[in-house]
Structure 1
């Protein structure tokens, strides 16, 4: 299963970064380019252990539906979301948060498996790896922007 690993340093407390990372509202902001909308399950606020969210988004010119569930949750240190239903054969996204002298190191591990056997592996090599890396990088850029400014107060207070 391919893995994307991203590390983002953020000048904010890990509690703020953790909460922004599990904010349905911030996720919508960070995925404006794909027109993502939470349509079932937890559709706003902060997602918790055992909760799920179903997203509708436009990828590669087609609207797709994906449901993920929070399967692990350790307040301010880690949470994991895993696909229950969607376009991937499987995915698991681990979100880790480490306090580094008043800053936060946010580490993402995104493990996924493309559908369609050989064709899925070919798609992974040709464009899916870059597409998913860019999507996650943009999400992290938005988390960083909100956490390092007063924008986080719009979502968490």
Structure 2
């Protein structure tokens, strides 16, 4: 059962990083390459404590659904989402936001167990863990771009994750 831990410094206040990290719209933008979209529960805006979101996406050529619930929240320092239903046997995803200097150190810890026992463990070693690291990294880089642009009062450039929907 892999535990993926990523840290990224963002030159933006914790409140902004926190809200972008729990934005359903932001998440869909960061996963556009998988066709991921919210199809149940909270489907837009900022997800709150106790709420669920059901995601639908194509991973490894297979359309999948996954439902996660926000089980802990202490704005703007930390929140946790946990899988309720989906392809994993389980997952626990903790998001931490620590003010540092003029910005925020964002720490993502994704602790999961693949399905299918030994076969799932083999999949983790061969491709799944690296795939998940890439998804989390891509998401956090887009959050960083948006947070830093907003903190600086700079409009986002094309290709930097800009779109026409309203954002937190």
Coarse TM-score class (shorter-chain normalised): over 0.9
Mapping of residues 1-150 of structure 1, within 5 Å: 1-150=1-150
Q: How many Å separate the matches in 1 of 2:90 and 2:21? A: 21
State the SS of the aligned residue for 1:148.
Answer: helix
Could you say what the CA RMSD is over the residues aligned between the two structures, in angstroms? 1.3
State the SS of the aligned residue for 2:38.
Answer: strand
Query: Which 10-residue stretch deviates more, 28-37 or 142-151?
Result: 142-151
Q: How many Å separate the matches in 1 of 2:142 and 2:115? A: 29
Cα distance, 1:102 vs structure 2: 1.6
State the SS of the aligned residue for 2:139.
Answer: helix
Q: How many residues align?
A: 156
Q: How many Å separate the matches in 2 of 1:30 and 1:146? A: 11
Query: Which 10-residue stretch deviates more, 142-151 or 76-85?
Result: 142-151
**TM norm structure 1:** 0.97
User: Deviation digits for residues 93-129 of structure 1, max 9, x if unmatched?
Assistant: 0000000012100000000000001100000000001
Cα distance, 1:154 vs structure 2: 4.2
**TM norm structure 2:** 0.91
State the SS of the aligned residue for 2:167.
Answer: helix
User: Deviation digits for residues 55-78 of structure 1, max 9, x if unmatched?
Assistant: 000000010000000000001000
Cα distance, 1:24 vs structure 2: 0.1
Q: Does 2:158 correspond to 1:155?
A: no
